[in-house]
Amino acid sequence: DQQVKQNSPSLSVQEGRISILNCDYTNSMFDYFLWYKKYPAEGPTFLISISSIKDKNEDGRFTVFLNKSAKHLSLHIVPSQPGDSAVYFCAVLERAGGTSYGKLTFGQGTILTVHP
Amino acid sequence: DSGVTQTPKHLITATGQRVTLRCSPRSGDLSVYWYQQSLDQGLQFLIQYYNGEERAKGNILERFSAQQFPDLHSELNLSSLELGDSALYFCASSVTRGSEQFFGPGTRLTVL
């Protein structure tokens, strides 16, 4: 039972254009969401996060949008650069208390390729 | 560089053996987490420690155990290794249990 889903295994984008990566979750109690980028043979790198009290958070070229009613979040990268080519994971940080507090649950990842 | 260090980077061992993976968190971080990334399961949470105490457990096998020491570094012990334990093992740390986690470079374990 996957609680966090990234339905697109891969995305290909031209340099300078917008990259949009999508993520769906199942539990309406989730309230903190994160995006990580991962290069081969390296650990995930934290990119940006958003709390459920917001619907948008920006950090430079990266913007995360949260649609709570649809249980959907997306990461926008504008403009995309070849160095952005990596695997992108969305994740939910459980903060509702109990024995799972602090646990990150990841989606399966989307491979982004940005072509020069 | 996240500030989280992990050793060794690679580990090759045989079935039935026992290994220890080590993690040093970022300076000031009290929480340490262990994750496993395998080809078929993706990134899976194993266990969490906060200031020396176990606080959360995921799908961690009974053959696996961990601890966090007074200097806050952590070790993950894997015993009676099986072929299916071959994976990348990541350590992460955070200031508090409810904040962003920063990952180390991982240890690639190969069980032959």
Q: What is the mean pLDDT of residues A79-91?
A: 97
Choose the most confident range, by mean pLDDT, from A49-63, A86-100, B30-44, B45-59: A49-63
Does residue A49 belong to the interface with chain B, where contact is any CB pair within 8 Å? yes
Length of chain B: 112
Within chain A, strands assigned E span 4-5, 10-14, 19-25, 32-38, 45-51, 56-59, 62-67, 72-77, 86-93, 104-106, 110-115
Q: What is the pLDDT of residues A13-40, one digit of tens each?
A: 999 999 999 999 999 888 899 999 999 8
Residue of B nearest to A43 (CA): B105
- Strand B53-57 to strand B42-50: parallel, antiparallel, or no bridges (unpaired)? antiparallel
**CB-based contact, A69 to chain B, within 8 Å:** no
Tell me what pLDDT residue B37 has.
Answer: 94
Return the closest-CA partner of residue B46 out of B74, B14, B26, B18.
B74
